[in-house]
Amino acid sequence: MYIHEVMTKNTEILPSSATVKETANKMAQMKAGLMPVYDNDKLVGIVTDRDLVINAVAKGISLDDSISPILSEPVLYCFKDDDTDTVLANMSKNEVQRLVVLDNEESKQLAGVVSVGDIASKCENSDTAKSIVDCCKHYH
């Protein structure tokens, strides 16, 4: 199975100037756990629900502050034509459950976002199921 078959397409993006509050509201509205962040048409990072809690709320960062200091970097990504087993191995290695999806190696344009849950929803075999479990082991 390929990532383009399970990923979330038409992903919204945030400007790097967005505030913590704007980001949290947008993520709640979109029911998203990850949002790509752009600065002048360049992908500069991502912000996750975990970033909001651990890097903003827990550290007392104001809701009116920019999200720039709390971004997850470097941006981990895969390509829309990657197979799910390769992507799950990448997620497991990097201890993440979501990745930005790019269209191809040359243009590297945003194609969407993929999560372990997206892959699990179309899980076809026990090997993939085991990879999903392995990918989630780093959470306590």
Interval 65-117: pLDDT, tens: 999 999 988 899 999 999 998 998 899 899 888 999 999 888 889 999 998 88
Average pLDDT across the chain, whole number: 87
Q: How many other C-beta atoms are found inside a 10 Å radius of the C-beta of residue 136?
A: 14
pLDDT confidence band for 119 (50 / 70 / 90): confident
Closest CA to 50 of 68, 65, 35, 29: 35
Which CATH architecture describes the domain 3-135?
Roll (3.10)
Which amino acid belongs to residue 36? P
- The SS3 assignment for 129 reads helix
The average pLDDT across 38-55 equals 92
Question: Could you tell me which residues are beta bridge partners of residue 100?
Answer: 77, 113
What pLDDT shows up at residue 140? 41
State the alpha helices, DSSP H only, in the chain: 20-30, 49-50, 84-94, 116-120, 126-135
93 φ, ψ to 5°? Answer: -60, -40
Give me the residue spans of the domains in the chain: 3-135
Q: Tell me how far apart the alpha carbons of residues 118 and 82 are, in angstroms, rounded to a whole number.
A: 14
Strands (DSSP E) found in the chain? 14-15, 34-39, 42-48, 77-79, 98-102, 110-115
